[in-house]
Amino acid sequence: MAKGACALLDLVVNLVFPDDCRVCGSALRHVSRVPVCAACLAEPQPLLAEFFCSDCKTPFVNSAPLDEQGRCTLCRLGLKGFDAVYTYGSYEGPLRQLVHLFKFGGMRPLAGTFGEMLSRALPRETSFDVIVPMPLHWLRRWQRGFNQSALLAREISRRWHTPMADVARRGKRTAPQAGLTNSKRRLNVQGAFQVRGRLDAKHVLLVDDVLTTGATASACARALKRAGASRVTLLALARTDRRAFVEVAALRAEGARA
Ligand SMILES: [Zn+2]
Ligand SMILES: [Zn+2]
């Protein structure tokens, strides 16, 4: 196509689809199914930590909360319910914005980008018998029109050549977990999950979008184990990283002592 015709086409496209990147606001030059620029899509990086729990991978500022096996208190006490956890990035900045566009902005094609990140978080050598998405309460699913975790689970199922089974149900409508303490969160979601059918001796990969304290995922993992699962591995796209808050609190404490 002649240069002039290309420019004209871009002009027409820009007139028809005048769009800015929903993350950084820069003008989008190409038509795409997701109104986010390539730079913002490539921005989220894997979460790195010097100290983390060997089981749930919770990052810590130092090794003090970890035992000789490298486990955190909750894993040592068996309160997590799942056997291993893999997550991609920290739930902040562009990744947080992308997750919001996906869940609340209905931008389902982002599932492809997230699928890449999720497969990077999973070690190549691991295998599973079945992939189960974290369920939403039916009312929430109906309001949103889709379950974001099911879209993510489908991506992993395709890449890992492992069947997906949407067998978990969230029966009880629970109060929002935000603002509750760890133990209150555990009580809040107790008995909230049911599993259809049996998963005897199966290694289940439970897929979720965001991991906060793990209380919800842990209640779901327990329900999967009651249905016979021998092992439950949790895979989430993002996790909240509290180290920043811990460091600020530690600095304040030091300041108070000085
Ligand atoms: Zn951008
Ligand atoms: Zn742990």
| CATH at 145 | 3.40.50
Work out how many domains the chain is built from and give that number. 2
Looking at the structure, do residues 177 and 232 belong to the same domain, yes or no? yes
In a domain, 258, yes or no: no
Looking at the structure, do residues 119 and 9 belong to the same domain, yes or no? no
Looking at the structure, do residues 92 and 172 belong to the same domain, yes or no? yes
In a domain, 170, yes or no: yes
Q: How much helix, strand and coil, in percent to the nearest 5, is found in the chain?
A: 40, 15, 45
Looking at the structure, do residues 202 and 94 belong to the same domain, yes or no? yes
How many angstroms separate the alpha carbon of residue 17 from the centre of ligand 2? 47
How many angstroms separate the alpha carbon of residue 77 from the centre of ligand 2? 9
Query: Given pLDDT bands bounded at 50, 70 and 90, which one contains residue 92?
Result: very high
Query: Given pLDDT bands bounded at 50, 70 and 90, which one contains residue 184?
Result: confident
In a domain, 8, yes or no: yes
Return the SS3 of 220: helix
Structure pTM?
0.83
pLDDT of residue 15: 55
Query: Given pLDDT bands bounded at 50, 70 and 90, which one contains residue 258?
Result: very low
pLDDT of residue 243: 75
pLDDT at 24 over 90: yes
Arithmetic mean of pLDDT, 190-209: 95
Looking at the structure, do residues 106 and 7 belong to the same domain, yes or no? no
pLDDT of residue 235: 96
pLDDT of residue 76: 85
How many angstroms separate the alpha carbon of residue 92 from the centre of ligand 1? 15
Rounded CA-CA distance 154/109 in Å is 12
Neighbour tally for 6: CB within 10 Å: 10
How many angstroms separate the alpha carbon of residue 183 from the centre of ligand 1? 39
pLDDT at 182 over 90: no
Report which of 224, 219, 154 is spatially closest to residue 196, judged by C-alpha positions: 224
The three state secondary structure string of 33-98 is: CCCCCHHHHHCCCECCCCEECCCCCCEECCCCCCCCCCCCHHHHCCCCCCCEEEEEEECCHHHHHH
Looking at the structure, do residues 34 and 93 belong to the same domain, yes or no? no
Query: Residue 14's domain spans which residues?
Result: 1-43
pLDDT at 233 over 70: yes
Looking at the structure, do residues 17 and 78 belong to the same domain, yes or no? no
Backbone angles phi, psi at 162, to 5 degrees: -130, 135
How many angstroms separate the alpha carbon of residue 132 from the centre of ligand 2? 21
Ligand nearest, relative to CA of residue 41: 1
Among 10-24, 118-132, 227-241, name the one with the lowest average pLDDT.
10-24
Looking at the structure, do residues 144 and 23 belong to the same domain, yes or no? no
Looking at the structure, do residues 120 and 155 belong to the same domain, yes or no? yes
Angle 209-211-216 from CA coordinates, rounded to 5°: 100
Looking at the structure, do residues 217 and 177 belong to the same domain, yes or no? yes
The string of pLDDT tens digits covering residues 131-173 is 999 999 999 999 999 999 999 999 999 999 999 999 999 987 7
Residue 28 and residue 10 in contact, taking contact as beta carbons nearer than 8 Å: no
In a domain, 256, yes or no: no
In a domain, 232, yes or no: yes
In a domain, 205, yes or no: yes
Looking at the structure, do residues 25 and 94 belong to the same domain, yes or no? no
Ligand nearest, relative to CA of residue 22: 1
Residue 99 and residue 237 in contact, taking contact as beta carbons nearer than 8 Å: yes
